[in-house]
Amino acid sequence: MSVEEQLNQSVVYTPLQRMRHSAAHVMAEAVQDLFPGAQFAIGPAIEDGFYYDMALPRALTPEDLPAIEERMRASVAADHPFTQSRWPRERALDYFRAHDQPYKIEIIENLPDAEVGIYQQGPFLDLCRGPHVERTGQIGPFKLLRVAGAYWRGDEKRPMLQRIYGTAWPSQEELEAYLERLEEARRRDHRKLGRDLELFAISDEVGAGLPLWLPKGATVRRLLEEYILDLERQQGYQHVYTPNLAKLDLYKTSGHWEHYHDTMYPPMEMESGEQLILRPMNCPHHIQIYKLKMRSYRDLPIRIAELGTMYRLERSGELAGLSRVRAMTLNDAHIFCTPEQMLGEFKKVVRFIERVYQDMGFEHYSYRLSLRDPNDKDKFVDNDAMWLRSEAALRQTLNELGVEYFEALGEAAFYGPKLDVQVANVLGKDESISTVQLDFTLPERFNLEYIGEDGQPHRPAMIHRGIISTLERFMAFLIENYAGNFPVWLAPVQAVIIPISDEKHADYAERVRERLREAGLRAEVDMRKERMNAKVRDAQLQKVPYMLVVGDKEAANDAVAVRLRSNENLGAVPLDDFIAIANALVAERSKVLWPERTA
């Protein structure tokens, strides 16, 4: 949505959002006071806080924020009223020209209104539709969080502005609780843990948004791949490989080019005159597999699955570790079925998702029924009958499943409604991990058919389904969800063997490693010239589940002294017993490090 559209739309703020929007204006007032000549762009309330974009005489540093906060507190203490007025466009343009505010001028010039909204508190005046609190004294406890860069209008070709983020809450207790959650999120940040635990890396020479999976991260990825592929095989999915390129015409037929061309890579011109493009989605390829031969109703449902790599032209400022990348591999599948089979297949996918969440230890998740906005004929396929039928079918299915859900207008795919399963992240915010989408549009566009019991051709229904999202995004979520402490079955290194004496106990340590590897466990020997306690500590920092210390007694008794990454010392355990216990926890995909012991 453009800046002008935001200003023109009818803004409905909750009381908390209204307070945060007011805090953004008070922050801009403080900045103007401290940095004469500051040029302001926009300053909205956002989830959990607010920000303001601005051009300043110099780059801000974190050390500047306390001074800005102090000036803000003075404005709050002054209890200035927020006053609203409507100015003719020319008066507003004259004012902002006189005060050297080019971003406000550009906004006004692109607004259709004869009059524009102006808000003022104390000496500060701003272009704004509101709403605000009545007085600055009604702004609750606040904190400025960080400074970031932001392109004007999100366009990399436009000026880079400075963005100050802040948060405000009704009470000091709520503010402190939020700041504690932020600190915990920083500790769990998958970018930091990914670097510290050597899971993945981003190389400037390779390119932004193109992660390199390091050996440990690649191990976790491989385990996730094997896990989901095995479950899919059990449920009758047929796995395929399809190319990462295709003709542009394929995506014009599907509608992806029409709806997503801004986030697709430019076509590559071939000497034959063909235009090839990196695929943004796998569904057109799976449709071509379905079309290779005529299908009978007896063949359906057909479940085609792939770990398919896709490409999105994400802006540089939006890239973030593994959670926002330009090349990603989706746990993708498409189910082709008769209309009568559709709801049954949909239910199976929902139960599949619940099974995976149980294995992953996800306890808090919710269901979002994502619907079209019937007034938006550009974003969504213009077929009222299809939308009404498919949305009603999804509601019926969810009611029959007995799951609670909420509806989200305007969040559907362009071709049909969907169910998004949202899991709470470390900040308590919902992230869509899994999705199930109904589609009657693409079967029509690609003229898909099957021969029914009546011997006549019929149009199949299609279900798009992703259980564990893209492997990149799912990995980012898991790192933060587990704080890097992967359960034993997913840990890239499950045990580190630490000889008390590198010279005396090295041979036994190597024999233990071989025994563990033969049993299917991932183990390493730490032969560094470090003290034993330092090796134990380093393994704990690397989030390794087990530290197996070996010395004379352990070698003599074919045992290992087991220490857990939780710092619990279990003492000597026969090696065969350790292997049996560890493998049982792996087979169960258990979340515990060691079985509970009874006295």
Enter the tokens of residue 390: 């498919």
Rounded to 5 degrees, what are φ and ψ at 421? -100, 120
Q: Measured between alpha carbons, how far is 523 from 488 in angstroms, rounded to an integer?
A: 12
Q: How many CA atoms lie within 13 A of 220 on its CB side?
A: 28
Contacts of 327 (CB under 8 A, 6+ apart): 209, 210, 309, 310, 311
pLDDT confidence of residue 415 = 82
The pairing of strands 430-439 and 559-564 is: unpaired
Rounded to 5 degrees, what are φ and ψ at 521? -100, 145
For 66-86, what is the mean pLDDT? Answer: 96
pLDDT confidence of residue 503 = 82
Domains of the chain: 3-186 (3.30.980.10), 200-482 (3.30.930.10), 495-587 (3.40.50.800)
- Give SS3 for 479: helix
Type and span of the H or E element at 332: strand 327-337
Q: Measured between alpha carbons, how far is 560 from 327 in angstroms, rounded to an integer?
A: 43
pLDDT confidence of residue 9 = 46
For 254-277, what is the mean pLDDT? Answer: 91
Decide: 117 and 84 in contact? Cβ < 8 Å.
yes
| DSSP of 255-266 | THHHHHGGGSPP
User: Of 120-124, 194-198, 434-438, 594-598, which gets the smallest average pLDDT?
Assistant: 594-598
- Give SS3 for 125: strand
pLDDT confidence of residue 316 = 80
Enter the tokens of residue 332: 């993708």
pLDDT confidence of residue 526 = 95
Q: Measured between alpha carbons, how far is 309 from 251 in angstroms, rounded to an integer?
A: 16
Decide: 393 and 345 in contact? Cβ < 8 Å.
no
pLDDT confidence of residue 1 = 45
| DSSP of 219-273 | HHHHHHHHHHHHHHHHTT-EE----SEEEHHHHHHHTHHHHHGGGSPPPEEPTTS
- Binned at pLDDT 50, 70 and 90, residue 5 comes out as very low
Whether the predicted pLDDT of 8 surpasses 80: no
Nearest Cα residue to 558 out of 571, 582, 576, 540: 576
pLDDT confidence of residue 597 = 61
- Give SS3 for 199: coil
Contacts of 358 (CB under 8 A, 6+ apart): none
In the chain, what percentage of residues exceed pLDDT 70?
Answer: 97
Q: Measured between alpha carbons, how far is 144 from 52 in angstroms, rounded to an integer?
A: 11
The pairing of strands 142-151 and 160-168 is: antiparallel
Whether the predicted pLDDT of 298 surpasses 50: yes
- Binned at pLDDT 50, 70 and 90, residue 374 comes out as confident
Type and span of the H or E element at 309: strand 302-311
pLDDT confidence of residue 462 = 94
For 581-595, what is the mean pLDDT? Answer: 95
The residue written with tokens 């695929």 in the block is 279
How far CA 111 is from CA of 8, 89, 98, in Å, comes to 8, 9, 19
Instruction: Summarize pLDDT for 392-404 with one digit per residue, the tens.
Output: 888 888 999 988 9
Decide: 215 and 225 in contact? Cβ < 8 Å.
no
pLDDT confidence of residue 3 = 52
User: Of 264-273, 346-355, 378-387, 475-484, which gets the smallest average pLDDT?
Assistant: 378-387
Listed in sequence order, the DSSP H helices in 471-564 are 471-482, 506-518, 532-541, 552-557
Q: Measured between alpha carbons, how far is 360 from 349 in angstroms, rounded to an integer?
A: 17
Type and span of the H or E element at 119: strand 115-121
Contacts of 582 (CB under 8 A, 6+ apart): 488, 494, 495, 521, 546
| Paired strand residues for 275 | 269
| Paired strand residues for 450 | 295, 458
For the chain, the farthest-separated pair of C-alpha atoms sits apart, in whole angstroms, at 92
For 43-58, what is the mean pLDDT? Answer: 95
pLDDT confidence of residue 331 = 96
Across the chain, mean pLDDT equals 93
| DSSP of 133-172 | -SBGGG---EEEEEEEEEEGGG-TTSPEEEEEEEEE-SSH
pLDDT confidence of residue 312 = 94
Whether the predicted pLDDT of 27 surpasses 50: yes
Helix axes 342-360, 384-401, angle to 10 degrees: 50
pLDDT confidence of residue 13 = 84
User: Of 155-164, 313-322, 534-543, which gets the smallest average pLDDT?
Assistant: 313-322
pLDDT confidence of residue 11 = 57
Q: Measured between alpha carbons, how far is 209 from 424 in angstroms, rounded to an integer?
A: 24
Whether the predicted pLDDT of 448 surpasses 80: yes
Q: Measured between alpha carbons, how far is 287 from 449 in angstroms, rounded to an integer?
A: 11
**Cut 0.85: pTM above it:** yes
- Binned at pLDDT 50, 70 and 90, residue 385 comes out as confident
Q: Measured between alpha carbons, how far is 338 from 458 in angstroms, rounded to an integer?
A: 8
| Amino acid identity at 228 | I
Nearest Cα residue to 485 out of 401, 542, 400: 542
The residue written with tokens 């009704």 in the block is 170
- Give SS3 for 127: strand
For 135-139, what is the mean pLDDT? Answer: 97
Report CA torsion sign: 380, 382, 386, 388: positive
Decide: 408 and 368 in contact? Cβ < 8 Å.
yes
Between 441 and 495, name the one with better pLDDT. Answer: 495
| DSSP of 338-382 | -TTTHHHHHHHHHHHHHHHHHHHT---EEEEEEE--TT-TTTS-S
Whether the predicted pLDDT of 280 surpasses 90: yes
Whether the predicted pLDDT of 259 surpasses 90: no
Q: Measured between alpha carbons, how far is 569 from 498 in angstroms, rounded to an integer?
A: 14
Decide: 108 and 40 in contact? Cβ < 8 Å.
no
In the chain, what percentage of residues exceed pLDDT 90?
Answer: 80
For 187-194, what is the mean pLDDT? Answer: 95
pLDDT confidence of residue 429 = 82
Contacts of 459 (CB under 8 A, 6+ apart): 440, 443, 444, 448, 449
